[in-house]
Structure 1
Amino acid sequence: MQYELLPLGDRAIVLRLSQNKGTEEWRAMAAVAAAVEREASTWIMDAVPAYDTVTVIYDPSRLLALANPLEGETAYSLAERLLHKLIDSRTGSDWNREHPFQTIEIPVCYGGEHGPDLKEAAERSGLSAQQFVERHAAAPYTVAMIGFMPGFPYLSGLPEQLAQPRKAVPRAAVPAGSVGIAGGQTGIYPQSTPGGWQLIGRTAVKLYDIDREPPVLLKAGDRVRFVPADRLEEEEKAADNGEILMKQDELAESDFRPFAAIERPGMWTAIQHGGEAGLRAYGIPAGGAMDRYALRVANLLVGNDTSAAGLELTLAGPELVFSADQLITICGAPMSPTIDGEELPMWRPVWVRSGAVLRFGHASSGCRAYVAAAGGLEGRRATVGRRLAAGDRVPMQGGAELSRWAAAWAAALAEKAGSRNWAAASWFAQPSVYGGGASEAGIVLRAMPGSEYGQFSEAARELFFRERYRVAPASNRMGCRLEGAPLERLARGELLSHGVTPGTVQVPQGGAPIVLAADCQTTGGYPKIAHVATIDMPLLAQARPGDWLTFKRITLEEAQLLDLEGERELQLLAASIRSRLPLP
């Protein structure tokens, strides 16, 4: 196998085939991804196959702690050496033997209401609708990658005569199960979503089920056969057993778990955790808190694991009530939290009495705040990220899950509170990660040149690291859209979709950069001009519409040193917090 390894930011590395010969090589990429995750799971978080690439997301600090770096070897060069060793030890036949793929038949009801574009697609191909269906169903397909949305397969193998242009105006809603064609690819929509592919049929097969393990039916490298069906066999809709958010009138009397009741939801309040690894190959983002630093510190301040679930508040916070006495903390953007009209201090443990109403205002600066509770919130795949509504009850672990440290502080602060509804520790954690990010130009994000940096004009490259960009109102957890002078790309060819991660700066055809964020898609086809350093992603998370951003160029080595330094500081902070015990 002839390939090259390239960096993608400071926590990912891309394996790219030197010679792209098509389907068999793409299947080899899927086998490589599976082997990499299986044999290096101690330091690799995800491996995402996509056509002629595999994007490997890794943890530099964990890698350096577990492996034996050579003198002067950086985290990236160590990852590169270990990946070369793993891949070069195998032949092409080894990949097929180690990772056999499945062949799956997909029944499709072609045409009519299920395939509204079939007739026009057939006419463009110079065929009758029946001929088009026969040729489409007769072709063998291979899953080149899963992307765009969870479980969405990009299938190679479409006969050249059947290739179709994307629709000039995408549909506002494409039904789940729709089979579509775009360019030389066939795809199947697992969920209802807007889309611009030409729809030729529909299947009732469920490609994505959040409660299934694995949650997707198809994986990269699998083979697919379409079988024409006379009618659409609708599947039974399974009840969502993963639901943990309960309305007040639905809570069973026998359930005595403590909970947080949402009286008013704020602008956008949701359960978020530290992110979920191992799912990107299925098209499922790792997700997690936008400002992971704030959530991690919040969890440390109540004795939790740093990845435990908490509440993420955006721009304006909620009004909530805890059903039991609770040790909490609030970190991130200042949103004027109050109980009984008294403002609660942030970045420290706070004991709250059962039934007390915790209210938040609007963020005076920044964008997102986090509420963590001792023991953590219950956060499952089905409910993490869902916008909370008035009346929701968020179950909490509490009880047996409380650490001894948290229990000691809860007891001490309860005694300190006396008759009041809350009491706070006199000490606090300093949010040092936010230091150095602001200037007269606004927020400064350190960034490395991206894979396609050289495809942009020299003027565009200089402009990117000089321009003041304004955060656009359309920004969200998927990406921060920037307004400013457009960037000119010299290369005009389309890119095959490839892995992307939070921090990737993509430039669509209009020339306006988008910085991908926590909920970004797992793959993308836009050129990457840069990648924001991991250390500065909390700054991006706190950027609000209207804020100004500038980018400062640094090297990969500098970014990884900053990342490792940030992790060491967090470890020191954790040790400092654990050493603080209430006086007897």
Structure 2
Amino acid sequence: MFENDDASPLPRGGAERFRFYPLGDRAIVVECSESGGAADWSAMAQLANHVEANRERWMIDIVPAYTNVTVVYDPVLLWREESETDASGWSMPLTGNVPYELAEQRLLDVINRERSSRTGSVRGVEIPVCYGGEDGPDLAEAAAYAGLTEVELCRRHAEADYQVAMIGFMPGFPYLIGLPESIAQPRKALPRLRVEAGAVGIAGGQTGVYPLASPGGWQLIGRTPIKLFDAERGEPSLLRSGDTVRFVPVEKPPIGDEQVVAVPNDGESGGRQLRATAAGASDDEAGFRVRKPGLHTTIQDMGRAGYRSIGLPAGGAMDSYALRVANLLVGNEEAAAALELTLVGPELAAQDDMLIAVCGAYMAPTIDGEELPMWRPVWVRSGAVLRFGSALSGCRAYIAVAGGIGVPAVLGSRSTYTRAALGGLGGRRLAAGDVVPCGAAGAAAASRWAAAWMAALAARPGSWAAAPWFAQPLAYGGGSDEHGIWLRAMPGSEFGQFSEAARTAFYRERYRVAPDSDRMGCRLDGSPLTRTTHAELLSHGVTAGAVQVPPGGGPIVLAADCQTTGGYPKIAHVAGVDLPLLAQAKPGDTIRFRHVSLEEAQRLELARERELRRLALAIRCRLP
């Protein structure tokens, strides 16, 4: 046990005490006016804890960083809370304050509320580390750089007291400050392609622990057997922002399933040691049998809310519009889980009679060799085989099934996040031989609307039948032409740090989608963008749609599985209403950017939401 001082007082006061600025059209950033650089981390942790304790429904996630706090919000929900509704339950005049202005007002009110007595509680956490050898492959190099022996470097590292300034990069990854200056290290010139889970590393004046296996460029000096992130624990991340950490040298990792993971000093546990037990994933049965998995087929819903503060991305469907419409067409809740197909689709055998809908990219879908019509309800008889080819237009398609997909929810979502191996079927893409639990087989009955259409379509001859009507895919109208895919984007937080030529070129360049694009980010090939300053940015909150520019100058548009924090400058931010278009951009496609203001971006999103509400009403009125 060791003493923990409470974090610094939470700044309070009027708008002059804080700076607010937008992060795209779905997040707001707040920082203290009297900024002290990285030293602000303690006040930011307190501010984040205070906002979390007073969280309102329109707030989705709260992400503390070194110098600011990012609040991700739902602009539609915020607007509806501030608007009167009509007889249909929906009212959205397109005049007056936009959601961002409401978010500023409401967030300032939250900040100025009476501080909770629990806001400042922090814990002390001891982490065992096996230094050197195969557990610390960079120890000798790090010691030589510091002019110390390996033993002395380890002693100094273990004797220091650290505090968690922020968590980001990946689920549970702590950025720890307090590293003695004498052992500070530069990042590796050539990052490793794989760093094992538990690796303890040093970079600059920070130390950290890799919770999951991943690429990384920190100098590795040891390894801990402790799980820093475990979705099966009541609190998935071992560490919170503001916690105090001490490393304890051990000869070899403890053996056994049960491990000591934390020694709290919050005045509530009486010094008890907290323990965590590893838990395995479980498999479900029924629905679709996978004959061929396709290139990258996963289970996705609308994603996880509330976990960005511990480094877990929101994830969910890349094209939320196609997912929502597909679910509406089979009578599901819009956020229900469905299959996401990428570039090359699967071959699936129906194990039960079911009502499905396919929306999104065109992958030449067939049922028993006959063309499968898209954007409408389709009844499929047990034994029928669905086949999907390569994407002829677009990149991702979605298969929704009446009753949804019945895999267990993990941290509030069924979405697959492969980097942390959670959600979906064992946290991975589908494989041949898998059985995907769907509809009643997944313990969820179809809605009365869906049951009526199933009964009507089942009366027709053959192994399948489709409704005679379809939903017009409005999200893609005007989003592409002979010049490529057009994405509306507002200037980013660091737009002014780029040269005038780069700022102009960004909105004129025809970028090509690079082959290594994925669910984390869409990489763009084109003329490099020049930044006028080379100053490093401290890691800060980021969201899908942010256009980051690494030192090489090639922009990357962050996508659904993007990291929660990042340190690259942002030249722009794609409007949320156009993220479905980004999701449908495949390698080789051309992307161009069109300037849009924050106000217009939010009005476009509100208008899109109104279109979806009208579509939902129209579908419910379509009875056989």
TM-score class, shorter? over 0.9
Checking the alignment, whether the CA contact within 8 Å between 2:344 and 2:391 is kept in structure 1 is yes
> 2 CA distance for matches of 1:474 and 1:235?
39
The aligned residue for residue 78 of structure 1 is 102
Checking the alignment, whether the CA contact within 8 Å between 1:28 and 1:95 is kept in structure 2 is no
> 1 CA distance for matches of 2:255 and 2:573?
44
Distance 1:123 1:20, change over 3 A: farther
The SS at the match of 1:520 is: coil
> 2 CA distance for matches of 1:96 and 1:5?
26
The aligned residue for residue 188 of structure 1 is 209
Greater Cα offset, 423-432 or 378-387:
378-387
Q: Does 1:204 align with 2:256?
A: no
The SS at the match of 1:28 is: helix
The SS at the match of 2:394 is: coil
> 1 CA distance for matches of 2:282 and 2:489?
39
Cα offsets for 1:463-508 (capped at 9, x unmatched): 0011110111111111110011110000110000011111000000
Checking the alignment, whether the CA contact within 8 Å between 1:377 and 1:395 is kept in structure 2 is yes
> 2 CA distance for matches of 1:427 and 1:520?
37
Checking the alignment, whether the CA contact within 8 Å between 1:31 and 1:96 is kept in structure 2 is no
Identity of aligned residues (%): 61
The aligned residue for residue 519 of structure 2 is 477
Task: State the Cα distance separating 1:241 from its structure 2 match.
Answer: 4.0
Checking the alignment, whether the CA contact within 8 Å between 1:244 and 1:378 is kept in structure 2 is no
Instruction: Give me the TM-score of the superposition, normalised by structure 2.
Output: 0.88
Cα offsets for 1:176-207 (capped at 9, x unmatched): 11110000110101122221111111111111
> 1 CA distance for matches of 2:392 and 2:42?
51
Q: 2:66 aligns with which of 28, 51, 54?
A: 51
Q: Does 1:491 align with 2:541?
A: no
The aligned residue for residue 18 of structure 1 is 33
Checking the alignment, whether the CA contact within 8 Å between 1:244 and 1:383 is kept in structure 2 is no
Greater Cα offset, 194-203 or 527-536:
194-203
Distance 1:213 1:23, change over 3 A: farther
Cα offsets for 1:261-310 (capped at 9, x unmatched): 10111111111111111111111111011111000000000011111110
Q: Does 1:64 align with 2:79?
A: yes
Cα offsets for 1:62-88 (capped at 9, x unmatched): 011123699932210110011111113
The aligned residue for residue 612 of structure 2 is 570
Cα offsets for 1:132-155 (capped at 9, x unmatched): 222211211111111111111110
Cα offsets for 1:28-73 (capped at 9, x unmatched): 3223223323423310110111111111110011011123699932
The amino acid of 1:32's aligned partner reads L
Greater Cα offset, 233-242 or 192-201:
233-242
Distance 1:365 1:68, change over 3 A: closer
Distance 1:471 1:278, change over 3 A: same
Task: State the Cα distance separating 1:23 from its structure 2 match.
Answer: 7.1
Q: 2:496 aligns with which of 448, 451, 454?
A: 454
Greater Cα offset, 301-310 or 382-391:
382-391
The SS at the match of 2:316 is: coil
Checking the alignment, whether the CA contact within 8 Å between 1:37 and 1:45 is kept in structure 2 is no
Checking the alignment, whether the CA contact within 8 Å between 2:64 and 2:309 is kept in structure 1 is yes
The aligned residue for residue 254 of structure 1 is none
The SS at the match of 1:572 is: helix
The aligned residue for residue 547 of structure 1 is 589
Q: Does 1:383 align with 2:411?
A: no
Q: 1:30 aligns with which of 21, 39, 45?
A: 45
Matches within 5 A, 1:440-451: 440-451=482-493
> 1 CA distance for matches of 2:507 and 2:536?
25
The SS at the match of 1:47 is: strand
> 1 CA distance for matches of 2:44 and 2:216?
27
> 2 CA distance for matches of 1:158 and 1:23?
14
Matches within 5 A, 1:323-334: 323-334=351-362
The SS at the match of 1:401 is: coil
Q: 2:564 aligns with which of 498, 511, 522?
A: 522
The aligned residue for residue 553 of structure 2 is 511
Structure 2 residue runs without a partner (length 5+): 1-10, 12-16, 85-92, 259-276, 411-421
Structure 1 residue runs without a partner (length 5+): 246-250, 252-257
> 1 CA distance for matches of 2:289 and 2:562?
29
The aligned residue for residue 214 of structure 1 is 235
Matches within 5 A, 1:238-277: 240-244=279-283, 258-277=286-305
Task: State the Cα distance separating 1:120 from its structure 2 match.
Answer: 2.4
Distance 1:244 1:411, change over 3 A: same
Q: Does 1:298 align with 2:334?
A: no
Task: State the Cα distance separating 1:19 from its structure 2 match.
Answer: 3.5
Cα offsets for 1:199-230 (capped at 9, x unmatched): 11111111111222221111111111111112
The SS at the match of 1:216 is: coil
The aligned residue for residue 578 of structure 2 is 536
Q: 1:411 aligns with which of 455, 474, 487?
A: 455
Checking the alignment, whether the CA contact within 8 Å between 2:172 and 2:239 is kept in structure 1 is yes
Matches within 5 A, 1:221-240: 221-236=242-257, 240=279
Matches within 5 A, 1:275-314: 275-314=303-342
Distance 1:239 1:153, change over 3 A: closer
Cα offsets for 1:101-126 (capped at 9, x unmatched): 11101111112221122222222222
The aligned residue for residue 111 of structure 2 is 87
Checking the alignment, whether the CA contact within 8 Å between 1:500 and 1:523 is kept in structure 2 is yes
> 2 CA distance for matches of 1:423 and 1:496?
56
> 2 CA distance for matches of 1:464 and 1:433?
24
The amino acid of 1:565's aligned partner reads A
Q: Does 1:142 align with 2:163?
A: yes
Checking the alignment, whether the CA contact within 8 Å between 1:242 and 1:383 is kept in structure 2 is no
> 2 CA distance for matches of 1:375 and 1:526?
42
Distance 1:504 1:392, change over 3 A: same
The amino acid of 1:34's aligned partner reads N
The aligned residue for residue 335 of structure 1 is 363
Q: Does 1:101 align with 2:101?
A: no
Superposition RMSD in Å: 1.9
> 1 CA distance for matches of 2:597 and 2:314?
25
> 1 CA distance for matches of 2:38 and 2:244?
10
Checking the alignment, whether the CA contact within 8 Å between 2:39 and 2:66 is kept in structure 1 is no
